[in-house]
Amino acid sequence: MHNCVSGRRCHVYVRLRGWRPWLVFCLTCLLFITAFWKNSSVLLASQDRSSAAPPGASTTAAASDSGVEFTIYDRNYTYRAPPLNCTSRTLLLLLAISSASDVAGRRLVRQTWGSVSRTSDEGDAGVHRRRRGVTNGAPRSSAHYTYAAPDIPCTNDTLLLVLVVSAVGDATGRASVRDTWGSPRRNRTQVVVAFLVADSADATTRLRVRDEMRLHGDVVLGDFLDTYDNLTAKSVMALHVASRRCPQATFAMKIDSDVFVNLLALTRYLQTTANRTRAIVGARKTASHPYRDRRNKWYVSASEFAGDVYPPYVVGGAYCMSADVAGLLYATSRRVRPFRMEDIYVTGMLAERADVARVNHDSFVIQPTGLDRRRFLSRVRYMPTYFVFHPVNLVQRQEMWQHMRKSDEFRALYVA
């Protein structure tokens, strides 16, 4: 009940009548006193543990053989942790909460923003670098990569290893290559075809590409993200695969997935007139200048490339190299800072440093995108004189394949 007098404070009080309300009141007070005493005991115990701990030890956790122990109210927990390597120079410790089954999510964090460990010696700029990514468009020179590769069926009779750089999600394009010009694996001329892809941030795509690896046994999977800026990493991975996984091949070829290869003409050229040592053959470019306009897709800052003219290079859509070149360029890549334009980096910068010749050949056809059908068919008629066409879509690839099947040399190359 309450009494309120006008102009004065209003006082509220409760009048307890009988013994039952008093009993409830006393029990409630007893519960509050018990809870308070229990909290005080826990606090005193934690203070005793912290005072007994040696200098630098955790005040909220105690080490045990089964893990590190900590307490929340009246419940004890343990966890296992690696050495975190924290020092007096550590600015920020990031603790990311993750479900136990989300292995892919944790891996993605390590490959992107969470790869900033051990950056104290790099200064503030190093915090923003990615171990397997780029900084302002330029890959890090100290990056380390791994890849999963099948047993590539190379022998001492292998003439050519073709490495197709493909987007991880382009399973249709890889299937088209296998069904057309890329089908002569383990045949009499020993042309071996493999596909180079990198990892995906999408869980479904990751599962599909691993199923494809098991099914076809011709996919090499890099452990870095499949992005445009990581094309340089893919190309260097191609050098490593050619030199370490198929060193018996006389020649190695790197191509993009939208390239059609006329293996009839190319193998004939390689068996007869090709330079067999220290040479890269393709569509050679000279006196190319870096784009300094920031709005351009291929913009290059002066910090990435200080010169006014790129070294002579071979267009990255398709080029062929002698067996000794792959290992030589890979070894050179460990001493030359990576560059975002993969063809300029591999066939220009690395080749120049390693004193590798870049040979131009007109049969490496780099055609303009959107070539009209009449001009396309006119080139197909002269197909026996060409080694590669780039770029081609899926329909054009099938048309070229049907045209190639009419050749007298077809059975010698494609029928085992």
> Would you say 160 and 253 are in contact if contact means Cβ atoms under 8 Å apart?
yes
Residue 198 lies in a domain: yes
Alpha-carbon distance 357 to 320, whole Å? 12
**What contacts 82, CB < 8 A, 6 or more positions away?**
none
Residue 206 lies in a domain: yes
- Which band of pLDDT confidence, cut at 50, 70 and 90, is reported for residue 122? very low
Say if residue 77 is exposed, middle or buried (CB neighbours under 10 Å; 0-12, 13-18, 19+): exposed
> Would you say 318 and 256 are in contact if contact means Cβ atoms under 8 Å apart?
yes
pLDDT of residue 312 exceeding 80? yes
> Would you say 209 and 200 are in contact if contact means Cβ atoms under 8 Å apart?
yes
Q: How far is CA 312 from the centre of its chain?
A: 28
- Winning range, highest mean pLDDT, from 37-46, 74-83, 144-153: 144-153
Q: Over the stretch 85-94, which tens digit does the pLDDT of each residue have?
A: 777 667 777 7
Q: Over the stretch 49-87, which tens digit does the pLDDT of each residue have?
A: 444 444 444 434 344 344 666 767 666 666 767 767 777
Which stretch of 11-20, 290-299, 320-329 has the lowest confidence by average pLDDT?
11-20
The tokens for 247 are 């060193």
CA-nearest of 295, 168, 191, 166 to 253 is 191
- Which band of pLDDT confidence, cut at 50, 70 and 90, is reported for residue 393? confident
- pLDDT value at position 309? 95
Residue linked to tokens 């690839």: 397
Q: Which residues pair with 359 in a beta bridge?
A: 281
- Which band of pLDDT confidence, cut at 50, 70 and 90, is reported for residue 319? very high
The tokens for 43 are 């606090």
- Which band of pLDDT confidence, cut at 50, 70 and 90, is reported for residue 416? low
pLDDT of residue 409 exceeding 90? no
Q: Which of helix, strand or coil describes residue 382? A: coil
* Counted domains in the chain: 1
- pLDDT value at position 134? 37
Report which of residues 293 and 64 the model is more confident about: 293
Residue 301 lies in a domain: yes
Residue 101 lies in a domain: no
- Winning range, highest mean pLDDT, from 134-143, 192-201, 392-401: 192-201
pLDDT of residue 46 exceeding 70? no
pLDDT of residue 156 exceeding 50? yes
Beta strands in 73-159 (DSSP E): 75-79, 134-135, 138-139, 147-148
- pLDDT value at position 189? 52
List the CATH number of the domain containing 189.
3.90.550.50
- pLDDT value at position 408? 72
Beta strands in 265-415 (DSSP E): 279-285, 313-322, 357-360, 364-366, 388-390
Residue 366 lies in a domain: yes
**What contacts 67, CB < 8 A, 6 or more positions away?**
78, 79, 80
- Which band of pLDDT confidence, cut at 50, 70 and 90, is reported for residue 32? low
Q: Over the stretch 191-226, which tens digit does the pLDDT of each residue have?
A: 999 999 999 989 999 999 999 999 999 999 999 999
- pLDDT value at position 14? 45
Report which of residues 415 and 368 the model is more confident about: 415
Task: Please give the mean pLDDT across all residues of the chain.
Answer: 76
Residue 114 lies in a domain: no
Q: How far is CA 241 from the centre of its chain?
A: 16
- pLDDT value at position 347? 97
CA-nearest of 272, 287, 275, 290 to 320 is 275
Read off the pTM.
Answer: 0.66
Report which of residues 116 and 252 the model is more confident about: 252
- pLDDT value at position 17? 58
> Which domain range does residue 334 map to?
147-414
> Would you say 284 and 358 are in contact if contact means Cβ atoms under 8 Å apart?
yes
